Structure 1
Amino acid sequence: MSDVTPGTRTTLREQLGTRAGPKHELATLLSLAVIFGALDVVISVNSQPTTGWAGPRADLVLQLLVDVSVLGLRRFPKTVTGIALAVAFVTVLADGLAPGLLSPENPASPLILPRVTSVIVIFLVRLESPRVAFPLIGALAIIGSEPWAPSWTITPVGLLSTIGPAAVVLYLDARKQLLQELRDRAERAERETHLLAEQARFEERRRLAAEMHDVLTHGLSLMVLHAGALGISSKEPDVRKAAEEIRARGAMALDELRDLVGVLNTTSADISERMTGPSPRLGSAGAPKEPPPPPDPATLVAESVAAGIPVELDVEGERSQMSPTIARTVHRIVQEALTNARKHAAGAEIRVELRYRPDGVGIRVVNTPPRRQPDEVLAGSGSGLGLSSLRHRVELVGGTLQAGPTPDGGFRIAADLPAYVPTTETRQKSAHR
């Protein structure tokens, strides 16, 4: 316990100053002064009066002087301790030179020190460094125990009034520090567990991304090549048109797959690259080729309207302010919402709201209650993981997604996305604001 550093005492001092306001501290010290003052009055009344020029109650005056000085113990612990030491030293000196002058010859209390000494010791240990507190407490212990005239009555009382409170305070401080260290270790272990779990999730995402890239990209690329070859070799316009549409759809699926694989395979370190969209693609001549424009949700709405589904589109703002990754996520949200409405809300009216802002985009897709029974084959064609996968994708790009039924029996999907995929640095800056 003796290796407590001065910095630890400063911390305790700050903690005391934080937890207790000036009024509360003054009230506490005033209460202690009144309690020990009353105790000194009772003991003095039940003791013989002092003799000599100092008066019949010289001992009570000295005790009350130390009791009053306790009011400044919080700010001036060394000064108050010095007053207590001076009173104790003068009392012991007077007992040797002029017995009965400053203390009764047969006192009711065997304690030579001021009776409020235990309170002074407690504050001294808490507020001062060991190199200051321990010598002062040692001086009080020597005077209070009177080793030059050991007595079974005086010596134990003097030691218990000085060393006893100091030992208790040091024990409680050491116990508090031990508990704090245990809490810190538990928090570090929890953080390490969280980091390991994050690392495991990232490894799983990377494995899935690799499998998707190896399997799906290969098949889609072959499909696009065959469709392109069919469009060139066929002489029938309908076949060429269908082949061109297959090729376009396959190319779009490849772009979507590339974007999704990039999101799954993104770490906190390289996510900043995605803030400005995918890297440029090279054309056949090796020159940079402009990436295809992000899909417009209005195309999805037009396809649904063409299929006989009543869909209303409400757009505010400019969608050009978003990064391509966010634009594709918006497209996916609207696509999933319209698909779910077609499957599970036959005959329902759908309203799509897009609110483009400089800092992000808000998406709201609401459908009314179904007007007829859904087609069983269509309703059972899904995997049941569409919304959960969509929520995971939204969280990966730093957005939020809410989905659930409306009070009138319809269904609502709402999402808020940033304008760009946030990096670790931007997340930390926003968290400190």
Structure 2
Amino acid sequence: MSEVTAPGSPTTPPFGTRVLATLLVLAVVFGGLDVAICLNSHPTTGWAGPRADLVLQLLVDVSVLGLRRFPKTVASIALAVTLATVLAGALAPGLLSPEDPASPLILPRITPVIVIFLVRLEPPRVAFAFTGALAVVGSSLWAPSWTLTPVGLLSTIGPAAVVLYLDARRQLLRELRDRAERAERETHLLAERARFEERRRLAAEMHDVLTHGLSLMVLHAGALGVSSQEPEVRKAAEDIRRRGAMALDELRDLVGVLNTTTAAVPASPRPGAAEQPAPDPATLVAESVSAGIPVELDAEGERAQLSPTIARTVHRIVQEALTNARKHAAGAEVRVKLRYRPDGVAIRVSNTRPSRPPDEVLARSGSGLGLSSLRHRVELVGGTLRAGPTPDGGFRIAADLPAYVPTTETRQKPAHR
């Protein structure tokens, strides 16, 4: 009976055929039971015929087929048959039920099925009204007896109580599951908030401590460059000032990342980014070539439009890829492909199948966390990274980064230095 659902609910259409088949089986089972009991009882007497009780029972059994769509109608038929049986027993004994029946039950024997569907499909007021009427009439409460009253109450109040209990239990389980899911979500949100607050605290400490020291260094270097008469000292001071300004700019980007929960890639590069010097992956390629590793560099676009943080991330990706190739792909050819765009950069580093076994000392020198830490760094700046073997036995690292760190502070930073 668990298939019964409220009318109009989203689960009604898929279970319509199944419920109808269940009702058909119940009608056949109870119909066979009624035939067996009535044929083993004395016949009825009077103008209604010798098997009037069987006709009434089968009438209710057949009406149950419409119970899913018309529960009140079927309940009314069962109540009418019960009332007719009670009145006939009082006014004309033997007319609609034998004077010595094999079963003492006044109600139609399929009444428990009707009560179950009533409670499940109808509002409580309607369901309880029909159930109460069937219980009062079917158990003969005005003249209770030990043979009739308990059976009548169990056939009406009993099924209703069971259905209400199961529904309440199902509702309780649903509420407990919802509460558990809400608690899990709240725990997750609290953990995320705690992590975010810790990141903000670290960002504040970095900003307060490092920005103060770096800004003093830049000011002193600028003053030294102005006051000194030595060209070499002025050149060194200018270099210190420029590098300190770069460090301040990167620190500002990193503090913005720590203060940001989500990242979105802007459509245009940050103003003034073209003025910032950035690490050039070509130096890494040159180092590898000088070490005897065949590396081909294919770069297109303007690298200077990237922010320092993004440029260093590109440098770090190429560095990690070349390092992995030296460790694990001895004798392989490596290709570094860089595509600089106004809205970001695409990095593709791939190597062919190694031609000889790797050096054991180099292969064991790593911590095994290079790619995972690199992926975390890429995600922090709003990019994506993919790494894995290629069909020809080589390895490939692909990353896509925005043009600059997508934070509110970097978007609002003025263009002048």
What is the TM-score of this pair, normalised by structure 1? Answer: 0.76
Structure 1 counterpart of 2:63, one-letter code: S
How far, CA to CA, are the matches of 1:294 and 1:389 in structure 2? 29
| Among 102, 106, 115, the residue aligned to 1:112 | 106
1:245-394 to structure 2, matched below 5 A, reads 245-267=239-261, 275=266, 290-293=271-274, 300-307=280-287, 309=289, 310-313=295-298, 330-346=310-326, 349-354=333-338, 363-367=347-351, 387-394=371-378
- Alignment partner of 1:413 is 2:397: yes
Spell out, residue by residue over 1:137-157, the C-alpha distance to the aligned partner (whole angstroms, 9 max, x if none). 000001110122221111110
Could you say which residue in structure 1 is the equivalent of 2:58? 64
How far, CA to CA, are the matches of 2:137 and 2:207 in structure 1? 85
Aligned residues: 392
Structure 1 counterpart of 2:272, one-letter code: P
Structure 1 counterpart of 2:315, one-letter code: Q
How far, CA to CA, are the matches of 2:220 and 2:359 in structure 1? 40
SS in 2 for 1:401: strand
Could you say which residue in structure 2 is the equivalent of 1:96? 90
How far, CA to CA, are the matches of 1:248 and 1:353 in structure 2? 30
Shift of 1:392: 3.0
Could you say which residue in structure 1 is the equivalent of 2:32? 38
SS in 1 for 2:280: helix
Structure 2 counterpart of 1:401, one-letter code: L
How far, CA to CA, are the matches of 1:172 and 1:255 in structure 2? 65
How far, CA to CA, are the matches of 1:146 and 1:391 in structure 2? 79
Distance 1:85-1:420 versus aligned 2 partners, 3 A rule: farther
Could you say which residue in structure 1 is the equivalent of 2:147? 153
Distance 1:141-1:414 versus aligned 2 partners, 3 A rule: same
How far, CA to CA, are the matches of 1:349 and 1:222 in structure 2? 47
Structure 2 counterpart of 1:145, one-letter code: S
Distance 1:308-1:361 versus aligned 2 partners, 3 A rule: closer
How far, CA to CA, are the matches of 1:205 and 1:194 in structure 2? 16
Spell out, residue by residue over 1:62-114, the C-alpha distance to the aligned partner (whole angstroms, 9 max, x if none). 11111111111111111110111011111111111111111111111111011
Structure 1 counterpart of 2:397, one-letter code: I
- Alignment partner of 1:220 is 2:201: no
SS in 2 for 1:110: coil
How far, CA to CA, are the matches of 1:411 and 1:174 in structure 2? 59
How far, CA to CA, are the matches of 1:218 and 1:261 in structure 2? 14
| Among 166, 174, 196, the residue aligned to 1:202 | 196
Structure 2 counterpart of 1:391, one-letter code: R
Q: Is the 8 A contact 1:370 1:410 kept in 2?
A: no
- Alignment partner of 1:402 is 2:382: no
Distance 1:183-1:202 versus aligned 2 partners, 3 A rule: same
1:225-240 to structure 2, matched below 5 A, reads 225-232=219-226
Q: Is the 8 A contact 1:334 1:365 kept in 2?
A: no
Distance 1:121-1:38 versus aligned 2 partners, 3 A rule: same
How far, CA to CA, are the matches of 2:324 and 2:207 in structure 1? 32
Shift of 1:315: 5.0
SS in 1 for 2:98: coil
Distance 1:419-1:258 versus aligned 2 partners, 3 A rule: closer
- Alignment partner of 1:184 is 2:163: no
Q: Is the 8 A contact 1:121 1:137 kept in 2?
A: yes
RMSD (CA atoms): 4.0
SS in 2 for 1:56: coil
Structure 2 counterpart of 1:352, one-letter code: V
How far, CA to CA, are the matches of 1:197 and 1:190 in structure 2? 11
Give the unaligned 5+ runs of structure 1. 1-9, 280-289, 424-433
Structure 2 counterpart of 1:201, one-letter code: R
Shift of 1:247: 3.5
Could you say which residue in structure 1 is the equivalent of 2:413? none
What is the TM-score of this pair, normalised by structure 2? Answer: 0.79
Shift of 1:394: 3.5
SS in 2 for 1:21: helix
Structure 1 counterpart of 2:116, one-letter code: I
How far, CA to CA, are the matches of 1:358 and 1:392 in structure 2? 24
Q: Is the 8 A contact 2:246 2:308 kept in 1?
A: no
Spell out, residue by residue over 1:49-68, the C-alpha distance to the aligned partner (whole angstroms, 9 max, x if none). 11111111111111111111
Give the unaligned 5+ runs of structure 2. 290-294, 408-417
Q: Is the 8 A contact 1:343 1:375 kept in 2?
A: no
Q: Is the 8 A contact 1:295 1:331 kept in 2?
A: no
Q: Is the 8 A contact 1:63 1:115 kept in 2?
A: yes
How far, CA to CA, are the matches of 2:157 and 2:406 in structure 1? 59
Q: Is the 8 A contact 2:269 2:343 kept in 1?
A: no
Deviates more, 1:22-31 or 1:138-147: 22-31
